[in-house]
Amino acid sequence: MKKIFIVAIVFLFTACNAQTKTNTVTTTQKFAVTKTAAEWKKQLSPVAFEVTRKEGTEQAYTGKYWDNHEKGTYNCIGCGQELFSSDTKFESGTGWPSFYKPINKTCLLDESDDTFGMDRTKVTCSRCGAHLGHVFTDGPKPTGLRYCMNSVSLNFAKK
Ligand SMILES: [Zn+2]
Low-confidence ranges of the chain (pLDDT < 50): 6-7, 9-22
- Identify the pLDDT of residue 24: 63
- Identify the pLDDT of residue 27: 52
- Identify the pLDDT of residue 12: 47
Alpha-carbon dihedral 126, 128, 134, 135, rounded to 10 degrees: -20
- Identify the pLDDT of residue 117: 73
**Statement: the pTM of the whole predicted model exceeds 0.85:** no
**Nearest alpha-carbon partner for 99 in 150, 155, 147, 156:** 147
- Identify the pLDDT of residue 26: 55
Residues labelled as active-site residues:
148
- Identify the pLDDT of residue 124: 97
- Identify the pLDDT of residue 4: 52
In Å, the largest CA–CA distance within the chain is 65
**Nearest alpha-carbon partner for 98 in 60, 138, 149, 152:** 149
**Nearest alpha-carbon partner for 150 in 40, 56, 34, 35:** 56
What separation in Å is there between the alpha carbon of 127 and the centre of ligand 1?
Answer: 5
- Are the beta carbons of 51 and 136 closer than 8 angstroms? no
What separation in Å is there between the alpha carbon of 41 and the centre of ligand 1?
Answer: 15
- Are the beta carbons of 39 and 73 closer than 8 angstroms? no
Q: How far is CA 88 from the centre of its chain?
A: 14
- Identify the pLDDT of residue 113: 76
- Identify the pLDDT of residue 3: 57
What separation in Å is there between the alpha carbon of 154 and the centre of ligand 1?
Answer: 9
Domains and CATH numbers, the chain: 32-158 (2.170.150.20)
